[in-house]
Each structure stands twice: as structure tokens, then as C-alpha cells.
């Protein structure tokens, strides 16, 4: 399996880039060997005003990745990733290596929707990591637990 | 800019500002209410038009406004990627044998239709907003309303200006959106004079400087109205003097004005004596 991780640098000990669309790089890692197989340069995304997420998701799709590990994914990027059949694990932090370990330990679950609205770096209200919270797009009811 | 967007009128005045909340609408509405002769007010701040709150127009008509966006027939598509390449706004993306469009990103340039040699792209229409018109005696009223979530305000502004220029008026007052980007430029283009409304604060000065830069590039004559005079400092006045920018009027800060504003009353309704000042200002501009 190929794992793409949004990163601020080009090595496995680089910190995760919490932004998906405007991440500096995506590091593609082979989950069997733990080897870095490809570095996708996404720095150009930081200069465009629109559509960074769409572009980034397309790059990741073209790399043949099966899973994305990142901080937050916006709605358009998410729809591209979904169309490409790529699973998303968001709210990752630490280094790229940490994220991969964390993911492989099986404690993180896949996202079932975007984490934030377009053009924002702040996450939309979320209840935590329990599965099956719907797309968190409902109105009100921002309660936790139960 | 395509010519003929607005036909020859007597006097077209745009009310703009760098900073938001300085009093564009307050000034624009007051000017419209103070004019002698036939007058039209056009609210070009289509993302949040608010002139209607003060003018209370009777809306007589409304046109839906839509833009052409691409629809892809995947059966005909050979995934060559030309349409993706030409789109500067990432409204089309292709990976493998998947093609996706994002109509909300589309600027309707038509490039994708031209480069597709498979005839796989056909035209869909996306409604981005409405052009509305009516009367607030004796003012003819126009406004654009962009649909919530739409980003393409400039084409709608163009449409509002077009509608407002179907008749001839002695005065056409264009209430611009804040800032210095495309929607502002779309509003002020082809006008005879730009009034920049600012406030005497560091923010007011900073954004006024940006606005002056923009308007100078367009080569339009301009003047400044300082609203909320009495708060902040003298720097705006000093800067305008340095630049040789005329200060057309200063409107003193008053809590009463703010209170009236909050109840939808215009400045000249609260202080009718100001009508004379606004009228004089307009006559000056005509010269």
C-alpha cells in the first residue's frame, strides 16, 4: 500500500504539514518497506488563490497513493480524493514517521468527510474520534459523547 | 475593459474605499438623496448590498443572472487534459480516467470549450445571482445580489451597471464594494469621478493608500471624504495634503449618526442640513 503524507519537508523526520491543499510536499511511503518512494512537490499551491486542494488531491491521485495522512482536508479536495478512491486520515501530527507509525498501529480511523470549509484553516466543529458521526454538517447538536 | 458598458450619462460617480465600514453606503445614499435632477443609485456591493435598507425601494423587477460553465460528457472525453491545462482556476481536474468539474471555481472564460477537440464539453448555466431594480422616489434604484457561496461577483456587477445604464440620468451613483480587487475595479471603471470614503485612523489611512494607488492606475479623478472625523488622528488629512488629494468633506463622528444608522435611517434624514453640503459637493464635481 502507498501512503501519502502531507509534509513541510522532504524527509521522513519532517513535521507533518497540517494543511492538505497548501502542504509543501507529499511524501509517498511504501507501507511494507517503510521506504520513501516519491516526493511530490506541492509548493506551487501556496501561490495560487483558488483550487489548491483540487490540485493537491489530483497530484496525490496521480501518484497512485491509497491513503492520505494529513491535518485537515477541505471539501473540494475531499471530493477529488473520494472520486480517486483514496482514504483519508486527518488530524495527524508529529513527524511523517510518527504519523505512519500512528496510522499503522490502527488507532486512527478514516475520515468520512471534509474537516473544514473551503478557504479556512480552522476546523469545523467536531466531536472527536468516534466513528460514524455523519458528515458533521448538521445544524446544532454540537454535543460530545453519548 | 470593453467600451460601451455604460452609455454616456451626465455624471457617473463611484463611491469606494479601501477599508470596509468607513461609510460608503452612508455617503452614496446621502448623495442620491441630495441630488437635483434625475438620479439613479446602483448598489454594486453585490456580496452584501445594503443601500436598500436606507432607501427602502419598491422593487419592480428582477433578472436571474447566470454564467456558462462546462459539463463534460465522459463518453466523448479522451482524457487528453487540455481543458485542465487551460483552466487557470482549477475548475477541471483529471486523473487516470476520471474527470471532475467544479463549477463554483469556474470564471466562465470559455477556454475549455475551445480547446476540446472531442466535442466532449457542453454548456451548462450556473445562476450566480440576481439583478434587481425599482424605485425609491425620486431615485431609480438598482442592485445586484450574489447568491450565497458564489465567488464571481464581477460579472454580476457588470450586469448591474448595464441595467442602470438603460435609461439616462443626470446622476448615477455607484456604491462600490470595499477593498481594491476586481469587483471594485469593475465598479469604478468608466466613471467620471471616484469618491474615496475613509476614516481618520491608521487602518483608514493604510487602506486609503491602497485605494488611491488602484484608482490612480486606472487614471480616474478622485477625492476623499473623511467620515467619523474626531476619532483617531490627523494623519489622513496630512497624507492627503501631501499627495494633493482634495478632501471633499469631513463628516464628524457622532453617536447619534450611528444610532440612526442602526435603525436604517440615512445621514441626511437625520441631519437634513447636510443635503446642502452634498449638493454643493456634487455641483463642484460637475465642474
- Cβ–Cβ gap A76/B102 under 8 Å: yes
At residue A119, the pLDDT reads 60
Closest partner residue to A54 (CB to CB) among B93, B98, B151 is B93
Element at A26 (helix H, strand E): strand A25-30
Instruction: Name the residue facing B90 among A51, A79, A83 (closest C-beta).
Output: A51
Is the Cβ pair A83, B89 closer than 8 Å?
no
d(C-alpha A93, C-alpha A73), whole Å: 14
The model's confidence at residue A127, banded by pLDDT at 50, 70 and 90, is: very low
- Asked if A54's CB is within 8 angstroms of B105's CB, the reply is yes
Residue in chain B closest to A59 (alpha carbons) equals B95
B11-65+132-286: which CATH topology? Answer: Rossmann fold (3.40.50)
Indicate whether A13 belongs to any domain.
yes
For residue B76, name the pLDDT band (cuts at 50, 70, 90): very high
A-chain CB neighbours of B94 within 8 Å are 58
Give Cβ neighbours of residue B1 (< 8 Å, ≥ 6 apart): B189, B190
Rg (CA), chain A: 14
The ranges assigned to domains in chain B are 11-65+132-286, 74-119
Mutation to test the B interface, candidates A53, A59, A76, most B Cβ within 10 Å: A76
A135 vs B18 pLDDT, higher one? B18
Residue B93 has pLDDT above 50, yes or no: yes
How does pLDDT run across A50-65, given as a tens digit for each residue? Answer: 889 999 999 999 999 9
B211 CB-near residues (< 8 Å, 6+ apart): B16, B17, B18, B180, B184, B196, B198
CA distances from A71 to A21, A29, A136, B1, B149 (A): 10, 17, 17, 43, 24
The answer on pLDDT for A145 being more than 90 is no
Distance, CA of B223 to CA of B240 (rounded, Å): 9
Mean pLDDT score, B158-184: 95
- Is the pLDDT score of A137 beyond 80? no
Confidence of residue A136 (pLDDT cuts 50, 70, 90): very low
B179: alpha, beta or left, given left = phi > 0 and alpha = psi -120 to 50?
left
Q: Which residues of A touch B (CB under 8 A)?
A: 48, 50-52, 54-55, 57-58, 61-62, 76, 79-80, 83-84
Return the residue of B nearest to A50 by Cα.
B89
Please state whether beta strands A87-89 and A67-69 pair in parallel, antiparallel, or not at all (unpaired): parallel
Q: Does residue B112 contact residue B99 with C-beta atoms inside 8 Å?
A: no
Is residue A112, in this structure, part of any structural domain at all? no
pLDDT in tens, A41-100: 999 988 887 889 999 999 999 999 999 999 999 999 999 999 999 999 999 989 999 999
Residue A36 CA to chain centroid, in angstroms? 17
Residue in B with minimal Cα distance to A76:
B102
Whether A138 has a pLDDT exceeding 50, the answer reads no
Sign of the Cα pseudo-torsion (A96, A102, A103, A105, in order): positive
Q: Which of B153-180 are b and which e, b meaning 16 or more Cβ less than 10 Å from the residue's Cβ?
A: bbbbbbbbbebbbeeebebbbbbbbbbb
Model confidence pLDDT, tens digit, residues B12-57: 999 999 999 999 999 999 999 999 889 999 999 999 999 999 999 9
pLDDT at B140: 97
Of the candidates B89, B95, B102, the beta carbon closest to that of A84 is on B95
Closest CA to B90 of B107, B73, B66: B107
**pLDDT at B136 > cutoff 70:** yes
Angle between the N-to-C axes of helices A52-62 and A75-83, in degrees from 0 to 180, rounded to the nearest 10: 20
Q: How much is the pLDDT for A107?
A: 79
Report the domain count for chain A: 1
pLDDT reading at A111 higher than 50: yes
B105–A50 C-beta distance less than 8 A: yes
The answer to whether B90 contacts A61, with C-beta atoms less than 8 Å apart, is: no
Q: Is B90 within 8 Å of A55 when comparing Cβ atoms? A: yes
C-alpha cell at A103: 496510522
Enter the C-alpha cell of residue A101.
507509525
pLDDT at position B251 over 80 = yes
Residue A21 lies in a domain: yes
pLDDT at A113: 80
Q: How high is the mean pLDDT of chain A?
A: 82
- Domain extent, residue A15, equals 2-104
Contact (CB, 8 A) for A58 and A42: no
Q: Has residue A118 been placed in a domain?
A: no
Q: Which helix (H) or strand (E) holds B70?
A: strand B58-72
- pLDDT above 70 for A39: yes
Report whether pLDDT(A26) > 80. yes
Q: Which of B89, B93, B151 sits opposite A80 (nearest CB)?
A: B93
Question: How many other C-beta atoms lie within 10 A of the C-beta of residue A20?
Answer: 31
- Among candidates A51, A61, A62 on the partner chain, residue whose Cβ is nearest the Cβ of B89: A51
Read off the pLDDT of each residue in B106-111 and give the average, rounded to a whole number: 93
Subunit contact A51:B95, Cβ cutoff 8 A: no
Own/partner pairs for A98-106, CB < 8 Å, 24+ apart? A98/A16, A99/A5, A99/A16, A99/A69, A100/A3, A100/A5, A100/A12, A100/A29, A100/A31, A100/A34, A100/A69, A103/A3, A103/A67, A103/A69, A104/A31
C-alpha cell at A109: 480511523
CATH of the domain at A59: 3.30.420.130
Report which of B69, B73, B141, B78 is spatially closest to residue B108, judged by C-alpha positions: B69
> Rounded to an integer, what distance in angstroms lies between the CA atom of residue B247 and that of residue B195?
10
Cβ of B90 within 8 Å of Cβ of A57? The answer is: no
Q: What is the pLDDT of residue B150?
A: 87
- Report if residue A110 sits inside a domain: no
Of B89, B95, B98, the CB nearest to A50: B89
User: Residue B279 — very low, low, confident or very high, per pLDDT cuts 50/70/90?
Assistant: very high
pLDDT of residue A140: 39
Residue B198 has pLDDT above 60, yes or no: yes
CA distance, residue A141 to nearest chain B CA (Å)? 24
Question: Euclidean distance between the first and final Cα of chain A, in Å?
Answer: 35
**May I ask the CATH architecture of the domain B74-119?**
2-Layer Sandwich (3.30)
Instruction: Evaluate whether residue A128 is within a structural domain.
Output: no
Residue A67 within a domain: yes
8 Å CB contact between B236 and B245: no
Q: Check if the beta carbon of residue B191 is closer than 8 Å to that of residue B220.
A: yes
Say whether B89 and A62 touch across the interface (CB within 8 A): no
* Model confidence band, residue A120 (pLDDT cutoffs 50, 70, 90): low
Amino acid at each position: 500500500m502507498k501512503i501519502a503524507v502531507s509534509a513541510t519537508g522532504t524527509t521522513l523526520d519532517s513535521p507533518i504539514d497540517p494543511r492538505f491543499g497548501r502542504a509543501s510536499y507529499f511524501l509517498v511511503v511504501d507501507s511494507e518497506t517503510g521506504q520513501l518512494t516519491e516526493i511530490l512537490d506541492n509548493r506551487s499551491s501556496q501561490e495560487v488563490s483558488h483550487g489548491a486542494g483540487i490540485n493537491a488531491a489530483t497530484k496525490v491521485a496521480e501518484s497512485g497513493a491509497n491513503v492520505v495522512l494529513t491535518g485537515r482536508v477541505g471539501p473540494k479536495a475531499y471530493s477529488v480524493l473520494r472520486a480517486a478512491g483514496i482514504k483519508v486520515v486527518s488530524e495527524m501530527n508529529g513527524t511523517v514517521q510518527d504519523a505512519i507509525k500512528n496510522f499503522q498501529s490502527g488507532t486512527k480511523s478514516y475520515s468520512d468527510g471534509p474537516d473544514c470549509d473551503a478557504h479556512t484553516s480552522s476546523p469545523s466543529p467536531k466531536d472527536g474520534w468516534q466513528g460514524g458521526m455523519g458528515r458533521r454538517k448538521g445544524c446544532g447538536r454540537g454535543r460530545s459523547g453519548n | 475593459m470593453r467600451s460601451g458598458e455604460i452609455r454616456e450619462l451626465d455624471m457617473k460617480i463611484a463611491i469606494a474605499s479601501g477599508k470596509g465600514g468607513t461609510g460608503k453606503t452612508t455617503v452614496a445614499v446621502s448623495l442620491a438623496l441630495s441630488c437635483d435632477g434625475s438620479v439613479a443609485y446602483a448598489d454594486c456591493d453585490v456580496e452584501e448590498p445594503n443601500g436598500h435598507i436606507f432607501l427602502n425601494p419598491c422593487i419592480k423587477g428582477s433578472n436571474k443572472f447566470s454564467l456558462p460553465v462546462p459539463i463534460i460528457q465522459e463518453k466523448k472525453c479522451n482524457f487528453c487534459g487540455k481543458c485542465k491545462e487551460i483552466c487557470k482556476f482549477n475548475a477541471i481536474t483529471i486523473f487516470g480516467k476520471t474527470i471532475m468539474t467544479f463549477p463554483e471555481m469556474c470564471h466562465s472564460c470559455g477556454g475549455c470549450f475551445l480547446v476540446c477537440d472531442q466535442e466532449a464539453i457542453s454548456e451548462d448555466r450556473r445562476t450566480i445571482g440576481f439583478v434587481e431594480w425599482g424605485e425609491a422616489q425620486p431615485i431609480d434604484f438598482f442592485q445586484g445580489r450574489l447568491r450565497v457561496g458564489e465567488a464571481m461577483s464581477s460579472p454580476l456587477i457588470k450586469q448591474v451597471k448595464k441595467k442602470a445604464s438603460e435609461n439616462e440620468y443626470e446622476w448615477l451613483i455607484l456604491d462600490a464594494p470595499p477593498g481594491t480587487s476586481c469587483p471594485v475595479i469593475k465598479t469604478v471603471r468608466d466613471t467620471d469621478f471616484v469618491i474615496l470614503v475613509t476614516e481618520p485612523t491608521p487602518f483608514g489611512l493604510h487602506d486609503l493608500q491602497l485605494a488611491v494607488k488602484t484608482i490612480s492606475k486606472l487614471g480616474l479623478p478622485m477625492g476623499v471624504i473623511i467620515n467619523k472625523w474626531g476619532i483617531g488622528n490627523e494623519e489622513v488629512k496630512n497624507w492627503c495634503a501631501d499627495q494633493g488629494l482634495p478632501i471633499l468633506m469631513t463628516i464628524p463622528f457622532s453617536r447619534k449618526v450611528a444610532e440612526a444608522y442602526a435603525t436604517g435611517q440615512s445621514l441626511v434624514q437625520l441631519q437634513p442640513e447636510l443635503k446642502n453640503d452634498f449638493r454643493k459637493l456634487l455641483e463642484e464635481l460637475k465642474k
